[in-house]
Amino acid sequence: MTLETIRKRADFLAANRGIRVARPGFVLLAQPNGGRGTRFGVTVTKKIGNAVVRNRMKRRFRELLRAALPEAGLPDHDHVLIGREGGIERDFALMSQELAAALARAAAGQGDSRRPSRRGSDFVPPAPQDERKNGKAVGPEERGRRPRVSKDPA
């Protein structure tokens, strides 16, 4: 089985609509790709660390995927690993076991539920603070602040 790498942003976004399996060191996304073979991609955000840390994590993830996908990968699916903060310190053998379990869950169609969107349909924006009282601007004393003292040398 030949493995290809996902390179286009649109393919990464499409994988985000598929099955999601979260583990302590990573999140696995799996999405059918319409007969393009078994492909994989890795993404690690700047939130995880500097470039050295992110590149090290990506190298570890690529090696995990190259070892696991030929046997346990879903055929004709895109597989994307998203790095999480604990992923860089985790033992490689433990992450390998977690990846095998995540691939088994994805193959069974048992993905984790998605978090509700921050801007979902039930999102209510915070009420703006009213700085006016009876049509007039409220001064600092009425807002509970001290009035500004001018530094006029006169």
Q: Tell whether 101 is covered by a domain.
A: yes
Q: Which domain holds residue 8?
A: 4-107
Q: What pLDDT is recorded for position 109?
A: 85
Question: What letters, b where the CB count within 10 A reaches 16 and e where it falls short, cover 36-58?
Answer: eebbbbbbbeeebbeeeebeebe
Does residue 135 belong to any structural domain of this protein? no
121 lies in some domain: no
Tell whether 53 is covered by a domain. yes
Domains held by the chain: number:
1
**Average pLDDT in the 11-38 region?**
91
pLDDT band at 113 (very low <50, low <70, confident <90, very high): confident
- Asked, for residue 95, whether it belongs to a domain, the answer is yes
Give the model confidence (pLDDT) of 52-86 as tens digits.
999 999 999 999 999 998 888 888 899 999 999 98
Please give the mean pLDDT across all residues of the chain.
83
Asked if residue 34 is part of any domain, the answer here is yes
Q: What is the pLDDT of residue 19?
A: 92
Give the highest mean pLDDT range of 34-38, 45-49, 135-139, 147-151. Answer: 45-49
Residue 101: C-alpha distances to residues 61, 71, 78, 128 (Å)? 15, 13, 17, 47
- The CATH number linked to 103 is 3.30.230.10
In a domain, 100, yes or no: yes
